[in-house]
Structure 1
Amino acid sequence: MAEPYYITTAIHYPNGKPHIGHAYETIAADVAARFQRMRGRKVRFQTGTDEHGLKMAQKARDLGITPRALADEMSSHFRVLFDRLNISYDRFFRTTEDEHHRASQAIWLAMEKSGDLYLDRYEGWYSVRDEAYYDESELTEGEGDEKLSPQGTPVEWTVEESWFFRLSKYQEPLLRFYRDNPEFVRPATRFNEVRSFVERGLRDLSVSRTSFDWGVRVPGTEDHVMYVWVDALTNYLTGLGYPDETEDFATFWPADVHLIGKDIVRFHAVYWPAFLMSAGLPLPKAIFGHGFLLNRGQKESKSLGNVTDPHELADRFGVDQLRYFLLREFTFGQDGSYSVEAIVNRSNSELANSFGNLAQRTLSLIFKNCDGVVPPISGHTDADTALFGHVDRVIFQEMPANYDTLAFAQALEAWIGAVYACNAYIDEQAPWALRKTDFERMQTVLATLYIVIAQLAVAVQPVMPETSAKLLDAMGLASELRDFEGIRSHWYPQLAESDFRLVKPKGLFPRIEMPAEADA
């Protein structure tokens, strides 16, 4: 029986509507989850919203509404977007749920039982925007007397009574864990940064606040709320039923991968493992910190007026085209710059002109020349065998290996290479000409193409689920065959001998016109 697989995104901070970065991370996690399901694994995929903290309280105050009202409104925008983008989450999680308060208090009590919490006074630099504490040595100078965090966000001097977590106690245990688990943080550059941070020495961490009350109450000290990262990180446990001994918790914890942005790797790779060690819980198997999406080379911001609405991109280009572009255009893990022109060019050249045209030409020839009947095979030539070998290598070796390591761009590079090989084959074999000179050979050529097109559609399902399903439905491939084992089986002879007939094929990817503002 295949092992279970648990993948999470960061829970997104809903002090504003979701932007393209939220879409990017969640699409990537969705592709990984869909791939693992195709492998036959029992998958748990969790995403959601992180709704506590000073930033939410201040935003709600500015709007003249309660933090809960703001959380309810903004969290719904994330759920609507993810449903629109065909995200196959198993659980959409909100930290305002009662069960999450209970779980956060349970892990707090477990850390307290280990002797790792103590009451003291905090004086230091805090970034409201990052919900993070920073040492003086990490800060840079902004305008005037302003000081900035490593993320470029303003920090303010904070003085208040606080509970502290004995993070310093876990410096050596963390370094030992890193040595024993060299793949714990990916990409490797991020792991090196984490290890260097811990090697420089860890200070105890302030883990409660008294200056606001929008959060999870500290058990036994009701005028304190937990530091937002204590309760935010606990969501990965709450979603599995912690602290109860549920079947989901026994099956899926520890998580296989927390998929997050590179700006919050420290919280997941330093604080989170230390909290779990303190609470006596297993640590996640891996943290993957992806890069930022840049709009024409610039980080998006409201002040620059370049914030992109994912709904607008989906409306303009199509959901599957957007999903494909975001994972094809740049290496996952690195920063990537996108533009309208890049989306249009990639969609037209690779999806409309290459894969879409390949499917349309092949199915149209079968519909027209074979009365829609799936053609028989009468022996294969070396050219047929070479194409099968190329596609098999891509679909059964290269793509699974790359999907498995979250190397999405490499998986799609191999996929489009196989599409190009199919287009070269159909041009070389010219089945439209064979119709008059060698009808039997024409049938074999079209059958060869039919098989590899179906295989390519199955292999790209995690990235383009809607388009793949539409094509495979039209081709009559049974739903139980739409995975890596099913598409490897001898399904084609059975289909050819059945009474299945193609209907007149429709184009998969309409060509996209460059928007006028992009031309300008």
Structure 2
Amino acid sequence: MEDKGKYYLTTAIAYTSGKPHIGNNYEIVLADSIARFRRKEGYDVFFQTGTDEHGQKIELKAQEAGVTPREFVDNVAGIIQGMCDMLNISYDKFIRTTDDCHEKQVQKIFKRMYAQGDIYKGAYEGMYCTPCESFWTESQLVDGKCPDCGREVKPAREEAYFFRMSKYADRLIRHINEHPEFIQPVSRKNEMMNNFLLPGLQDLCVSRTSFKWGIPVDFDPGHVVYVWLDALTNYITGIGYDAEGGSTEQYKKFWPADLHLIGKDIIRFHTIYWPIFLMALDEPLPKQIFGHPWLLMNSGKMSKSRGNVIYADDLVDFFGVDAVRYYVLHEMPFENDGNATWELIAERVNSDLANTLGNLVNRTISMSNKYFGGVVA
């Protein structure tokens, strides 16, 4: 088999606020099928997934559970990695944002961006949504609530560091226009251009002082690095990036990523913030960012608060791992949301796997026994 060169793909890293449902697991199964296909084609594949483990929400959840944030994330990260293994995911690296090597690099990256003048100190004022860890202006709210999750917001003000997004915006617009394959599907690209880039980017809050569970800004100890600068950089720290110029041979071989596979709800962070961070670090941009749709439950978004979630381990216990993998891959078109219910999965397994495929295998084996003595030359 000819060597096709390298292929580096990543999933979004799972947030460790709790056990992921089948809608979250869909992405990792899809990425795994791509990784397996690329390996079969002869590519040297590196497939990275992992967990995003810092933030105010985790600090609060740990308090509720009566444990330290570290104990809380160790437990949930173990559950998430266990589910990957149960689903036969062939990842090459499982990164955790609490890994020492990741935390050290995030501090170096922050310091470098600050020294370059890309990061400056200011104060943040606005309406704050704790579950999404996002500040919003009054005009961005929908019916007075968070536009992302629909929950209550509260007024908040705090000292923070900001990243100068506008400095790189024109360069990013040019890149997107010159590389039509960069953001896929096209509907997501149009949304990012028209809703965010063309109207003008606001500077991004990249540090927080109102909680402690995060990577400390080492030259200003009251601050911790805010979620996106910490979480997004996993794609380079996991393969050996060093902000001071000592990146590993593995990094030089595999970066830029060939594919970031992510959910459509975090497309803005991956197609705007992440490329701009890379421009500031003078690193090449990933070749493609694909925002996949959601797996719905009875046509509504799965959420633990609504109580309409299905977990992969329950499905695997009942249907078997290959049937569950088959279902999520079959049911999710790349543009539109898919749907999952116990009844639909049972129907799909019976019609496709038992009747169609099972029947084909059964007939093929019968004929090979009848005409070839069970041996196909």
Tell me whether 1:247 sits opposite 2:249 in the alignment. Answer: yes
- Counterpart of 1:16 (choices 15, 18, 41) is 18
Find the counterpart in structure 2 of residue 7 from structure 1.
9
Q: Which amino acid aligns with 1:207?
A: V
- % of aligned pairs identical? 51
Between structures 1 and 2, the one with greater helix share:
1
TM-score calculated relative to the size of structure 1 = 0.69
1:291-349 deviations in Å (ceiling 9; x for gaps): 11111111122343221111011111111111111111231242112222221121111
Cα 1:157–1:41 shift into 2, 3 Å = same
Q: Is 1:173 matched with 2:171?
A: yes
TM-score (norm 2): 0.95
Q: Distance in 1 between matches of 2:247 and 2:358?
A: 49
**Residues 219-255 of structure 1: per-residue CA shift (max 9 Å, x gap):** 3111110011111001001110111321110111111
Q: Is the 8 A contact 2:293 2:332 kept in 1?
A: no
CA separation in 1, counterparts of 2:148 and 2:64?
26
Write the distance in 2 (CA, Å) between the matches of 1:241 and 1:95.
14
Query: Do residues 216 (structure 1) and 215 (structure 2) align?
Result: yes
Q: What corresponds to 1:206 in structure 2?
A: 205
Show the counterpart of 1:56: 58
Contact 2:295 2:332 in 1 (8 A): no
Match of 2:174, as an amino acid? Answer: R
**Aligned match of 1:184:** 182
Q: Does 1:161 align with 2:159?
A: yes
Shift of 1:373: 2.7
Partner residue of 2:263 out of 261, 264, 269: 261
Q: Work out the CA distance in 1 between the residues paired with 2:179 and 2:87.
A: 34
C-alpha distance in 2 between matches for 1:247 and 1:75:
28
Look up the equivalent residue of 1:156 and give its one-letter code: K
The residue that corresponds to 1:318 in the other structure is 320
CA distance in 2, matches of 1:269, 1:188: 12
> Conserved in 1, the CA contact under 8 Å of 2:136 and 2:146?
no
Write out per-residue CA displacement over residues 100-142 of structure 1, whole angstroms, 9 at most, x where no aligned residue. 1111112212312321111111112332222233333221115
Answer yes or no: is the 8 Å Cα contact 1:138–1:150 preserved in 2: no
- 2:123 match: secondary structure: strand
**Residue in 2 aligned with 1:76?**
78
Partner SS state of residue 305, structure 1: coil
Aligned to 1:349: 351
> Which segments of structure 1 move beyond 4 Å, counting only runs of 4 or more?
none
> CA offsets, 1:274-305, max 9 Å, x none?
11111111111111111111111111223432
Match for 1:364: what amino acid? Answer: S
Corresponding residue number in structure 2 for 1:294? 296
Q: Which runs of 5+ in 2 are unaligned?
A: none
* 182 and 134 in structure 1: CA distance in 2 versus 1, 3 angstrom threshold: farther
**Corresponding residue to 1:26 among 28, 43, 47:** 28
Q: Which has the larger radius of gyration?
A: 1
Paired with 1:298 and 1:203, the residues of 2 have a C-alpha distance of 32
Structure 1 residue runs without a partner (length 5+):
375-495, 497-520
Distance in 1, matches of 2:375 and 2:207, equals 69
Residue 152 of structure 2 corresponds to residue 150 of structure 1: no
Q: In 1, distance between residues paired with 2:109 and 2:98? A: 16
Counterpart secondary structure, 2:310: coil
Structure 2 match to 1:129:
131
Per-residue deviation, 1:185 = 1.0
Tell me the residue number matched to 2:39. 37
Verify: 1:235 aligned to 2:234, yes or no: yes
Deviation at 1:263, TM superposition (A): 0.7
Aligned length: 371
Q: Deviations over 1:135-194 (max 9, x none)?
A: 33221115xxxx222342433322111111111222212211111112211111111111
Q: Secondary structure at the match of 1:323?
A: helix
Q: Which residue among 330, 337, 340 is the counterpart of 2:339?
A: 337
The question of whether the paired residues in 2 share the 8 Å contact of 1:186 and 1:287 is answered with yes
Residue of structure 2 equivalent to 1:94: 96
Give the CA deviation at 1:369: 5.0
Shift of 1:368: 4.7
- Partner of 1:218, secondary structure, is coil
RMSD of Structure 2 on Structure 1 (CA): 1.4
* Distance of 1:313 and 1:328 partners within structure 2: 16
Match of 1:373 among 359, 372, 375: 375
For 1:291 and 1:133, locate their aligned partners in 2 and report how far apart those are by CA, in whole Å: 25
- Quick one: structure 1 residues 57 and 284, their matched pair in 2 at CA, closer, same or farther if it must change by over 3 Å? same
Deviation digits for residues 21-64 of structure 1, max 9, x if unmatched?
22101000001111110110000101111000111011111111
Letter in 2 for 1:226: V
The CA distance in 2 between the partners of 1:241 and 1:13, in whole Å, is: 22
| Structure 2: distance between partners of 1:157 and 1:242 | 38
TM-fit CA distance, 1:86: 0.5
Q: CA shift at 1:92, angstroms?
A: 0.7
Higher strand share: 2
Partner AA of 1:313 in structure 2? L
Q: Distance in 2 between the 1:75 and 1:95 partners?
A: 10
* Alignment CA distance shift 1:339-1:166 (3 Å): same
- Cα 1:180–1:345 change in 2 (3 A) is same
Give the letter for the 1:49 counterpart: T
Task: Report the Cα offset of residue 269 of structure 1.
Answer: 0.7
Deviations 1:67-124 (A, max 9, x none): 0000000000011111010000000110001001111112212312321111111112
